[in-house]
Amino acid sequence: MKLSERLQYIADEIRKGETMADIGCDHGFLPLYLMEKHKCPKVIMTDVSGGSLKKAETNCKLVKPKGDYELRLGDGIDVLSDGEVDVVVMAGMGGLLIADMLKWNLKKSRSIKRYILQPRNNPGRLRHFLACNGFSIVKEGIVREGKFLCEILTVESGPIPVFTAENPQPVYSAEFEYPASLIAFGGVLTGEYLQKHLETEYQILGKIEENAKDVQQQSKETRDRIVRLEALIKEWEAANE
């Protein structure tokens, strides 16, 4: 079975011997591949859509994987028991939705050691949620899928953070949207990724200045992201001369 670059990256992030759950598994290609390669002794395929889960079930019957697998209909990690698997994959959904799934039951979310997260949008809001709730991003990657460049976060669960006046809760900013870790971990596509987002932010700024009622605040937020991107692009270019 051959995976897309995006799914192959995720598969490579899963360690041999880990049990895993694929939340929103759709066709089930990733868990089926992991069983085929004898990487995961147990996989759980879940989806909120009965139709999507049926596709995974059909593929299981076709492939006849040699491994322990289950299909579960339900929302997010609600269908899992505390600590039931070593790693959970949430890929191809919005960053705010991923954050909501983790937030719904933080005790259960923290009982799972690792996550591989691939937000389709709002990665900055997801990073901010993770930082505020004791999850550490240990690696970030950028992979191509068709015309899209996808961010993939490898995340480890940690203790509940304690915020004080000396150690305040982090405030959402452009640094969450475009972190320095993109330079360290992003790989060969980082420059292209940053440049594309810079062009998008300039387009957003133009539309805000034309149409928005609250121009000042929205314009400031966009300009902050532009400044951040331009700084990262300079850093990337200097590191790759």
CATH number, residue 58: 3.40.50.150
Same domain, 143 and 232: no
Same domain, 197 and 233: yes
Same domain, 150 and 208: no
What mean pLDDT comes out for the span 140-147?
94
What pLDDT shows up at residue 167?
87
Same domain, 69 and 150: yes
Is pLDDT above 70 for 149? yes
Same domain, 113 and 35: yes
Q: Which helix (H) or strand (E) holds 93?
A: strand 87-93
CA 194 to chain CA centroid, nearest Å: 17
Same domain, 143 and 209: no
Same domain, 221 and 120: no
Half-sphere exposure at residue 180, Cβ-oriented, CA atoms within 13 angstroms: 2
Same domain, 115 and 157: yes
Same domain, 193 and 158: no
Where is the domain boundary, 150, 165, 180? Answer: 165
What pLDDT shows up at residue 205?
87
Query: Does residue 32 fall inside a structural domain?
Result: yes
What mean pLDDT comes out for the span 57-84?
91
Query: Does residue 172 fall inside a structural domain?
Result: no
Residue reference for tokens 């992201």 = 225
Query: Does residue 184 fall inside a structural domain?
Result: no
Same domain, 68 and 9: yes
Query: Does residue 97 fall inside a structural domain?
Result: yes
Q: What global pTM score does this model have?
A: 0.91
Query: Does residue 46 fall inside a structural domain?
Result: yes
How many whole angstroms separate alpha carbon 180 and alpha carbon 224? 15
Query: Does residue 27 fall inside a structural domain?
Result: yes
What pLDDT shows up at residue 213?
60
Same domain, 44 and 80: yes
Number of domains within the chain: 2
Confidence of residue 240 (pLDDT cuts 50, 70, 90): confident
* pLDDT one-digit tens code per residue, 34-51: 999 999 999 999 999 998
Query: Does residue 115 fall inside a structural domain?
Result: yes
Could you tell me if 236 and 179 are in contact, meaning their C-beta atoms sit under 8 angstroms apart? no
What mean pLDDT comes out for the span 101-106?
94
Distances (CA, A) of 96 to 3, 76, 241: 26, 13, 36
* pLDDT one-digit tens code per residue, 182-238: 988 878 899 999 999 999 999 988 887 777 566 677 788 899 999 999 999 999 988
Domain region containing 132? 5-165
Same domain, 108 and 29: yes
Query: Does residue 196 fall inside a structural domain?
Result: yes
